[in-house]
Amino acid sequence: MTGEPILPAAADDTTLEQAVRTSAISINHPAGTCRAGVDDASVVDPTLRVHGVTGLHVVDSSVMPTLPRGNIHAPSIMIGERGAHLIADA
């Protein structure tokens, strides 16, 4: 058995568009904004140190140079673990 419809029945495209605009959400995870790498476009180096800023590391999902198709939880945990070791060993 199915439940009630989530969206109201739309008599026209305008009503349907409004229903989608008010109820749609994104499942995207904000990540990859401080890409790690060795090129000029990267924000942090492979050891997660911010280029040009002494003593500052970025240790979160923002350092992912490319994003996985799945959930970023597990890769984020691994970045945190690796970052903790890199900072402790420095």
List of residues 6+ apart from 23 with CB closer than 8 A = 6, 7
Residue 85 annotated as catalytic: no
Q: Apex CA 77: angle with CA 75 and CA 83, to 5°?
A: 100
Active-site hit among 29, 51, 73, 85: 29
**Active site (catalytic) residues:** 29
